[in-house]
Amino acid sequence: MTPTLTISRLTKRFGDVEALKAVSLTLEAGRRAALLGHNGAGKSTMMKIILGLIPYDGGEVSVCGSAPGSSSARAAVAYLPENVAFHPALTGEEQLRYYLSLRGESPRQVMELLSRVGLGHAARRRIGTYSKGMRQRVGLAQTLIGKPRLLVLDEPTSGLDPVSRRDFYDLLDGLSAEGTAILLSSHVLTEVEARTDRILILSGGALVAEGTLADLRTRAALPVALLVRPAPGRAPALVSAFPRPPPAATACCAFPARRRRSCRCSPAYRRSAARSPIST
């Protein structure tokens, strides 16, 4: 099946700044990918290109088989910015009815859309009285107009409390189960790890890593720290149940440099020990 989104060797420059450097990725229907990276990594630039808002310099981009910005691509993609802005004097129902009319859709869908994002009870309240999480839900309801095949969400949960975040991701789970592909940006790895299928890490405009968090951990050989609290009286049994680390790996780099030569520590561990040597 053709992927919902295909990006191949995408490059974009702003003067001297290379905002995207030969980035390639695909996103199939029903899959959720999180785009992570520091400020200035290129996340927004990539989203703007997918939406057809800015041109690109090299490579190829296909949104549901069409060029970004074309009428068929625009009909298939919806976008939720980080900070949604609605008229505070309008009710949720009035605001959404307005967007439905702009899209040429039946206003009869309004309550169904609001109920879908958990706002049925507040439909007749003014948006000025909504919490940030509720406004974000109005934004999500707006993106659902016309049943888009690709959702592009720019830091959709920033500023939301933990319960609102969980509820928001529950909504996304439902949409992806129906076949909507979702590309969202975030700064919070721990938040997206359990709620997306793939993590894409951009750095300086290049896609430097891609996979599940477990894949990325394995590839980077990151240490795994476990905090285990034994039940009362079970500590000795717990300690004996865990394998002991090899003695050379734990002790040798704690010794002065002259005795480290034959150690079995990993190069990364040796480097960190060299930075903070323990004198004996």
Ligand X SMILES: Nc1ncnc2c1ncn2[C@@H]1O[C@H](COP(=O)(O)OP(=O)(O)OP(=O)(O)O)[C@@H](O)[C@H]1O
> Using CB under 6 A as the criterion, which residues of the chain lie in contact with ligand X when the complex forms?
14, 17, 19, 37, 39-45
Minimum Å distance from CB 79 to ligand X?
14
By beta-carbon proximity to ligand X, the closer residue of 127 and 201 is 201
Minimum Å distance from CB 182 to ligand X?
17
Minimum Å distance from CB 20 to ligand X?
8
**Cβ atoms of 3 and 198 closer than 8 Å:** no
Minimum Å distance from CB 162 to ligand X?
22
By beta-carbon proximity to ligand X, the closer residue of 54 and 90 is 54
Minimum Å distance from CB 151 to ligand X?
17
Contacts of 115 (CB under 8 A, 6+ apart): none
Rounded Cα gap, residues 102 and 18, in angstroms: 36
**Cβ atoms of 190 and 39 closer than 8 Å:** no
**Cβ atoms of 184 and 34 closer than 8 Å:** yes
By beta-carbon proximity to ligand X, the closer residue of 93 and 154 is 154
User: Which DSSP state fits 126?
Assistant: B
Rounded Cα gap, residues 20 and 9, in angstroms: 9
By beta-carbon proximity to ligand X, the closer residue of 55 and 277 is 55
By beta-carbon proximity to ligand X, the closer residue of 39 and 279 is 39
Rounded Cα gap, residues 123 and 266, in angstroms: 59
